[in-house]
Amino acid sequence: MEIKIKYHDGMEEWPIEKISKGDWIDLRAAEDVTLVKFQSAMISLGVSMELPSGYHAQLAPRSSTFKNFGIIMANSIGIIDNSYCGDNDIWHFPAIAMKNGVIHKGDRIAQFRIVKNSEPVTFTAVETLGNADRGGIGSTGTR
């Protein structure tokens, strides 16, 4: 599978590469950002990509992003469709600062993986599903 990448803001200095461990690929901040507690920002990741037809990208924080930078991803996970593929369709990390902090250009803050799209589905309205109820949210307990 080949993915075309356009780098922005000097990010070709840190070319995207598959790491030797795991299935996710790291992305870096393409700008210096100073945040104060509870401030939000769309942090540029400095790349645009053309994903193959039938695939999308799942974008998430790295496991160490909160520990290292005190930020969380505003929407928990991002989905980037393959139609978001223009030269100026730059990927971003929607961040919320949980404490004051600084992110420097080149810091690894996000990760992504390429996922095959679901098969087409249809939805059919019914009067009953015909299954036993599970018991609602949290019905299996906490321990």
Name the active-site residue from 81, 89, 107, 133. Answer: 81
What are 7's two structure tokens? 């780098």
Residue 102's identity, in one-letter code, is: V
Pick left, alpha or beta for residue 83 (phi over 0 → left; psi -120 to 50 → alpha; otherwise beta): alpha
3-state helix, strand, coil in the chain (%, to 5): 5, 35, 60
Question: At residue 26, what are phi and psi to the nearest 5 degrees?
Answer: -75, 150
Is 81 among the catalytic positions? yes
Catalytic residues: 81
